[in-house]
Structure 1
Amino acid sequence: MSGAAHTPAPGGGERRCGFVAVLGAPNAGKSTLVNALAGAKVSIVSPKPQTTRFRIRAVLVEGPAQIVLVDTPGIFAPRRRLDRAMVGAAWGGAKDADFALLVVDARTGLTEAVRAIIARLAGQRRPVWLVLNKVDLIPRERLLPLAAECNALLPFAETFMVSAQKAQGLERLRARLAEAVPPGPWMFPEDELSDLPNRMLAAEIVREQILRQTHEEVPHHATVETEQWTERADGSARVDCTIYVARPSQKAILIGDGGARIREIGRRARAELSQLLERPIHLFLNVKDRPGWDEETGRLRALGLDEEEG
């Protein structure tokens, strides 16, 4: 923790700091919104639902305010132990926050999943803001009726219409976030963008490439763990990751003909990690089939998940 309460922030003004949970159904664009607000890649993104599996804190500085955005997994009806842990992580993030942003995909609107989330939020006492995302993809005349329909279910403290992908409408949201967080000391150093350790960042970047380069059942039955991180004298690092899948057939798909797919996953992940960390990364991938990994307590804890209820 840095500074004392009510100390001036860089550039003047009383310091403010608060935690904001970013909630929504899968594929609402929560991680894209968090990355756009933070101005840097903090969470992995893909077109597939349930990309985010655990809470990630992104640190955003706006004037004298430090806003800690808590990116959470999409909330859905859980089936596996992994699913239950992900949904628990989402509601746990909301429980500890000063207020919450409910991100709704404007294209799909008020689905049953969104209605269920709103119903649960209505029973809580913290302020909730509505963020209609992907507004660039639908006719503008549909936006006000959708906002009114959502506010009829829960009177939101604020309503925003944005396109995270196109960075539209974000300046007003950033400014209002900065005004709304309470006075108090900053929780993170000025130059810190996220609380995600490098070992978990490496695993997530590899998993993002699995999501982008494989289809059907493989992405949701794969997890990645960084087994070893070795610093080298020349400033580079060797990173060894293991990819676990549920079945031998999924292992074969991931490896590809003659190892072509796993090499491409490694090549793209290595390039992105080197860019994000601003130094050479030597990435080595191993694939193992481990049936039932998504029901194992040890594997879930390695992902930063517990079966908590928010």
Structure 2
Amino acid sequence: MADDSAPRRAGIAAVLGAPNAGKSTLVNRLAGTKVSIVSPKPQTTRFRVRAVLMLGQSQVVLTDTPGIFRPRRRLDRAMVQAAWTGAQDADLALLVVDARAGLTEGVASIVEGLKKGSPPLWLVLNKTDLLDTKRLLPLTAQLNEQLTFAETFMVSAEKGDGLDRLSEKLAEAVPPGPWLFPEDELSDLNERMLAAEIVREQILRQTHEEVPHHATVETENWEERRDGSVRVDCTIYVARATQKAILIGDGGSRVKEIGRRAREELGKLLERRVHLFLNVKERPGWDEERARLRAIGLHEEG
């Protein structure tokens, strides 16, 4: 139970790491609700999403950032830039490392970037339930030789192992000050963006090869209905006709299944009936268009 006489504390903790380190799973588990979409594919998260954790009198705002990788497209550059900006704006940064993969080339590249300057750093070794503890110690030593970590945590975001201690330390670490968000606010992701992300999650889960990373989703229409339900119209943009054909499927079977699962998930999250309609359009080069990137919450600087 929170001590109302204790001073309020608030701060931002950026969650950084290579693609597939488990950042979004960690953020969702700490938040106790779905804030970021999750899939087995790398580069699932495309823009910064903030999750608001109420821990007694402390409010910790976790910023889930895109995985940092070597960019090729304008979309990639904007994603990586969003991750680094998220770190610069934070009171502290959590470097999440997949303990099974260890110190990969991708992790080493992030470490080099953090050496140029960052807020206080914490190391979070994730997926540690899949390894013998003896294998974790050399990795921890190796990373601590490269950077100064104020804290080190060994967790399993999937199972929830080690997260109580992480939450407690986060509550203590944020500075005294007024809360940054209303107490009942769980995320800064609005409902239109949430709908688009839930549809994109199903695309990631149900399609393969080049399709997932060449598709984007925009919510074109949001109509509140008198019976309390909502009609949502989303457009899926893909780069090529072949990708459009794969997404639609035989007789529209694939897009119907994407819509069915997304509708169920969105209904649970919004706690009301959702009427979801999907449209698939071919738009070559969308991942190089500034307007399309802005529409999905990315802003390329410079």
What range is the shorter-chain TM-score in?
over 0.9
Q: 2:126 is matched with which residue?
A: 133
Partner residue of 1:277 out of 270, 275, 278: 270
% identical aligned pairs: 75
Contact between 1:89 and 1:308, CA under 8 Å: does it hold in 2?
no
The Cα shift of 1:308 comes to 3.2
Structure 1 CA distance for aligned equivalents of residues 212 and 118 of structure 2: 36
Within 5 Å, give how 1:53-202 maps onto structure 2: 53-202=46-195
Partner residue of 2:216 out of 220, 223, 248: 223
Structure 2 CA distance for aligned equivalents of residues 284 and 12 of structure 1: 49
Structure 2 CA distance for aligned equivalents of residues 42 and 250 of structure 1: 28
Q: 1:264 is matched with which residue?
A: 257
114-123 or 293-302, which deviates more: 114-123
The Cα shift of 1:39 comes to 0.6
114-123 or 31-40, which deviates more: 114-123
Structure 2 CA distance for aligned equivalents of residues 125 and 212 of structure 1: 34
Q: 2:283 is matched with which residue?
A: 290
Contact between 1:92 and 1:308, CA under 8 Å: does it hold in 2?
no
Letter in 1 for 2:80: V
Question: Can you give the 5+ residue segments of structure 1 that lack an aligned partner in the other structure?
Answer: 1-8
Structure 1 CA distance for aligned equivalents of residues 30 and 126 of structure 2: 13
Structure 1 CA distance for aligned equivalents of residues 100 and 69 of structure 2: 18
Q: 1:46 is matched with which residue?
A: 39
Contact between 1:223 and 1:244, CA under 8 Å: does it hold in 2?
yes
Partner residue of 1:28 out of 21, 27, 40: 21
Length-normalised TM-score, structure 1:
0.96
Q: 1:203 is matched with which residue?
A: 196
Structure 2 CA distance for aligned equivalents of residues 11 and 46 of structure 1: 39
Structure 1 CA distance for aligned equivalents of residues 31 and 182 of structure 2: 15
Letter in 2 for 1:272: E
Structure 1 CA distance for aligned equivalents of residues 231 and 284 of structure 2: 28
Structure 1 CA distance for aligned equivalents of residues 173 and 148 of structure 2: 17
Offset from partner CA, 1:145-170 (integer Å, 9 cap, x none): 11000000012111000000010000
Contact between 2:30 and 2:53, CA under 8 Å: does it hold in 1?
yes
184-193 or 197-206, which deviates more: 184-193
Structure 2 CA distance for aligned equivalents of residues 98 and 135 of structure 1: 26
Contact between 1:241 and 1:285, CA under 8 Å: does it hold in 2?
yes
Question: Can you give the 5+ residue segments of structure 2 that lack an aligned partner in the other structure?
Answer: none
Letter in 1 for 2:170: L
Length-normalised TM-score, structure 2:
0.98
